[in-house]
């Protein structure tokens, strides 16, 4: 799912996101002075509504860019009434509060909500062809036969996993902290990347390709840490290869809770932590949920 996909869905189906707004699309990527607006609508009062789109968590830097953009628009069009709405997958409460105090409306638009709208209208994500190509390349890849499967949890308030999993520059490799079960997690085991919070669920299947060892986060991945205190630190980590990226079709927490045999998974019983074991029986059920045989 690209940022452009989110923009397109908002532009095409505004009533799904802003009910009863009667927004009429003026255009996308429209130049306004020195800036480009992602989307411009006209509302029922004939006011211009500018929507800015950010994928993943709204970082401090992104919030600052939006503020700067809003200031430029105000200075370039002092006589105009400008309504700015910021849409992002995850907006930390403190940033939302600050932005709204200066007149920028914030709308949290989660991955699951976007997927639901896309499914309703048969919208095809722009990266679908890229994903098909990746599947073709990996068709001969043999998933390790192992009973050792681990959940690796991502807290979206600390790590922007949505953008990390969408970053082609990272390729198929990603590193992850090992804070629990350090003497049990091993090369050759499988991993499930789990996003916590309102959008919780499984977002990728991985193979662990190194034993846990002290290492720095690669520079390409460091930028996805939200807090600078988490960066540039040597910590116990594993290196993983992404076997199947599920960002466009995650296996949601509610689905798992409603599935017989999965309702007592360790992630549900002890949600605080980074690493959680998955039992043999649970993995057999999860294989079907992840559709490992559908490619």
Q: Round to whole Å and give the CA distance between 201 and 193.
A: 8
Question: Do the beta carbons of residue 87 and residue 18 sit within 8 Å?
Answer: no
Query: Could you tell me the fold of the domain covering 3-120?
Result: Trna Endonuclease; Chain: A, domain 1 (3.40.1350)
The pLDDT value recorded for residue 135 is: 45
Same fold, 3-120 and 144-289: no
Residues of the chain with pLDDT under 50: 132-139, 294-295
DSSP letter for 245, please.
Answer: E
The pLDDT value recorded for residue 38 is: 93
The residues, any chain, with a CB within 8 Å of residue 256's CB and separated by 6 or more, are: 201, 202, 262, 263, 265, 268, 289
* Angle at which helices 60-76 and 93-101 cross, to 10°: 10
The pLDDT value recorded for residue 78 is: 73
Q: Round to whole Å and give the CA distance between 226 and 154.
A: 12
- CATH number at 144-289: 3.10.590.10
The pLDDT value recorded for residue 128 is: 62
The pLDDT value recorded for residue 96 is: 92
Q: Round to whole Å and give the CA distance between 191 and 277.
A: 9
The pLDDT value recorded for residue 292 is: 64
The pLDDT value recorded for residue 53 is: 94
**Strands 149-154 and 235-245, bridge-based pairing:** unpaired
DSSP letter for 43, please.
Answer: -
Structure tokens at 183: 């003497």
- Burial class of residue 283, CB neighbours in 10 A (0-12, 13-18, 19+): middle
The residues, any chain, with a CB within 8 Å of residue 285's CB and separated by 6 or more, are: 259, 261, 262
Q: Kindly list the domain boundaries of the chain, sorted by start residue.
A: 3-120, 144-289
């Amino acid at each position: 799912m690209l940022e452009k996909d989110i923009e397109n869905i908002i532009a095409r189906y505004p009533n799904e996101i802003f009910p009863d707004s009667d927004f009429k699309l003026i255009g996308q990527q429209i130049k306004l002075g020195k800036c480009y607006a992602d989307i411009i609508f006209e509302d029922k009062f004939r006011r211009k509504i500018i929507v800015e789109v950010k994928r993943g968590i709204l970082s401090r830097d992104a919030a600052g860019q939006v503020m700067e953009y809003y200031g430029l628009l105000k200075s370039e069009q002092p006589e105009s009434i400008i309504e700015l709405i910021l849409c992002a997958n995850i907006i930390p409460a403190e940033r939302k509060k600050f932005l709204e105090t200066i007149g920028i409306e914030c709308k949290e638009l989660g991955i699951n909500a976007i997927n639901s709208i896309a499914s309703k209208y048969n919208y095809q994500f722009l990266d679908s062809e890229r994903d098909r190509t990746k599947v073709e390349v990996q068709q001969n890849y043999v998933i390790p036969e192992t009973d050792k499967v681990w959940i690796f949890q991502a807290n979206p308030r600390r790590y922007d996993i949505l953008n990390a999993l969408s970053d082609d520059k990272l390729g198929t490799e990603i590193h992850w902290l090992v804070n629990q079960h350090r003497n049990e997690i091993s090369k050759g085991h499988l991993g499930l990347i789990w996003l916590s919070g309102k959008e919780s669920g499984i977002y990728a299947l991985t193979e662990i390709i190194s034993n846990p060892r002290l290492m720095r986060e690669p520079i390409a991945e460091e930028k996805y840490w939200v807090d600078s205190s988490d960066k540039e630190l040597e910590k116990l980590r594993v290196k993983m290869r992404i076997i199947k990226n599920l960002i466009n079709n995650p296996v949601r927490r509610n689905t798992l809770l409603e599935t017989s045999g999965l309702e007592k998974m360790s992630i549900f019983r002890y949600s605080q932590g980074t690493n959680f074991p998955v039992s043999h029986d649970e993995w057999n059920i999860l294989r079907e949920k992840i559709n490992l045989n559908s490619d």
